[in-house]
Amino acid sequence: MSFIETDEQKELRKAVAQFSASYGEKYYLEKARAGEHTTELWEEAGKLGFIGVNLPEEYGGGGAGMYELSLVMEEMSAGGCALLLMVVSPAINGTIISKFGTEEQKQRWIPGIADGSITMAFAITEPDAGSNSHRITTTARRDGSDWILSGQKVYISGVDQAQAILVVGRTEEAKTGNLKPALFIVPTDAPGLSWNKIDMEIVSPENQFQLFLDDVRLPADALVGSEDAAIAQLFAGLNPERIMGAASAVGMGRFAINKATDYVKTRQVWKTPIGAHQGISHPLAQNHIEVELAKLMMQKAATLYDLGDDGGAAEAANMAKYAAGEASVRAVDQAVQSLGGNGLTKEYGIASVLVASRLARIAPVSREMILNFIAQTSLGLPRSY
């Protein structure tokens, strides 16, 4: 592992930062407030090869890894244009299908996921299971060679923009006990699938939904990978999800710190710009250190993942997601404080990030569940549940 990015990675970082700035947070917030999607941003990012940078070249991807995809996520977010669906479509679903899908599934889905023409949502969370995925009850039963899928999901992002959803269920034979997940690709126009939009307070062009799967009939080839070896298949997607959650939060922390430092360099109410007062400069310096530390752990997680060390990547990805979530929440809060009254206006565009910054503490896995994981796995402490 090197602490220095390659020339290619530096170029990619520069290109994504320029691209993100060409849209900027004003565009992103206007779209969100109008209840619209950032379709042109997504499509252009796809054409430029940013969305599928981690996916295999033979299926239209960029042939790089999670390091590069998280770099794209971070720079988009740092430019005020975080694309939440990058966490699910290329990072989770693209990874799972390209690692465990059949040749037909790869050819059917990966090129579109890579160029952004297909968006695939991801659904694991259920109302009665929450953080405890072992309690999910979405169940698939066989009918001839078909599958019939029934259940409910909640907080599923981007269903209205997606052509398909990767749904985590379990088969009838594995209905109870520790989760043996079975993963199904469900087209969003499948009969029996319906959804309601959940009203969120997050200012975002991407929405969350409650899903109802009512005897959704799927062909045999909707199943991705093996029906009972799927815990490893699921985790192949969940470590990238955590790395991307960290990348989004690191980017958001950088966005907030940049906004605040620009402002406090020129705002003057006494003899010097307010940025000279240590009550303002020290917290921002602390935020910068915390965000950079979280970024380092995120880069370690992505590097381990790309090297195939899934165990090491899991610990680092959890730590990175935790650290980035905490650092970005504090950075956004301090940025609002640094701007005084302007921090709470729509014009300055920082208050809108307050609620969004909390997301990294809750999803895709809450900070408490990460602390449980680290306590049990890294420290060997007993479980409370």
Among 124, 140, 264, 313, binds ligand FAD (CB under 6 A): 124
Among 41, 156, 183, 246, binds ligand FAD (CB under 6 A): 156
Among 123, 162, 250, 298, binds ligand FAD (CB under 6 A): 123
Report, in Å, the least distance between residue 14 CB and ligand FAD.
30
Report, in Å, the least distance between residue 277 CB and ligand FAD.
35
Among 155, 184, 255, 322, binds ligand FAD (CB under 6 A): 155
- Per the CB < 8 A criterion, the answer to whether 32 and 205 are in contact is yes
Nearest-angstrom CA–CA distance, 51 and 184: 22
Which residue is associated with the tokens 């504090």? 330
Give the binding range for ligand FAD (CB under 6 A) out of 101-109, 188-196, 327-335, 360-368. Answer: 360-368
Indicate the helix (H) or strand (E) that contains 141.
Answer: strand 139-143
Nearest-angstrom CA–CA distance, 151 and 212: 6
Name the token pair of 315: 């610990």
317 binds ligand FAD (CB under 6 A): no
Closer by beta carbon to ligand FAD, 21 or else 374:
374
385 binds ligand FAD (CB under 6 A): yes
- Please list, in sequence order, all residues whose beta carbon lies within 8 angstroms of the beta carbon of residue 75, skipping any fewer than 6 positions away: 13, 16, 17, 20, 251
Among 148, 366, 373, 374, binds ligand FAD (CB under 6 A): 366
Which residue is associated with the tokens 């620009």? 262
Among 70, 98, 125, 248, binds ligand FAD (CB under 6 A): 125
Tell which positions 197-226 bind ligand FAD, by CB under 6 A: 202, 208
Among 157, 239, 303, 357, binds ligand FAD (CB under 6 A): 157
Report, in Å, the least distance between residue 130 CB and ligand FAD.
3
Tell which positions 85-104 bind ligand FAD, by CB under 6 A: 88
Name the token pair of 47: 């054409």
372 binds ligand FAD (CB under 6 A): yes
Give the binding range for ligand FAD (CB under 6 A) out of 27-35, 117-125, 141-149, 248-256. Answer: 117-125
Report, in Å, the least distance between residue 268 CB and ligand FAD.
38
Nearest-angstrom CA–CA distance, 90 and 85: 8
* DSSP code string of 254-312: HHHHHHHHHHHHH-BSSSSBGGGSHHHHHHHHHHHHHHHHHHHHHHHHHHHHHTT-HHH
- Per the CB < 8 A criterion, the answer to whether 313 and 305 are in contact is yes
136 binds ligand FAD (CB under 6 A): no
Pairing of strands 146-157, 193-198: unpaired
String marking each residue 3-42 x if it binds ligand FAD according to CB under 6 A: ----------------------------------------
- Fill in the amino acid letter for 68: E
Closer by beta carbon to ligand FAD, 127 or else 219:
127
368 binds ligand FAD (CB under 6 A): yes
Report, in Å, the least distance between residue 162 CB and ligand FAD.
10
Give the binding range for ligand FAD (CB under 6 A) out of 52-60, 143-151, 316-324, 362-370. Answer: 362-370
* Coil, strand or helix at 140: strand
- Fill in the amino acid letter for 34: A
Crossing angle (nearest 10°) for helices 7-33 and 39-47: 160
- Per the CB < 8 A criterion, the answer to whether 44 and 72 are in contact is no
Query: Which residue's Cβ lies closest to ligand FAD?
Result: 130
* DSSP code string of 212-248: EEEEEEE-GGGEES-SSSHHHHHHHHHHHHHHHHHHH
Question: Which residues of this protein are in contact with ligand FAD, per CB under 6 A?
Answer: 88, 122-125, 130-131, 155-157, 202, 208, 359, 362-366, 368-369, 372, 385
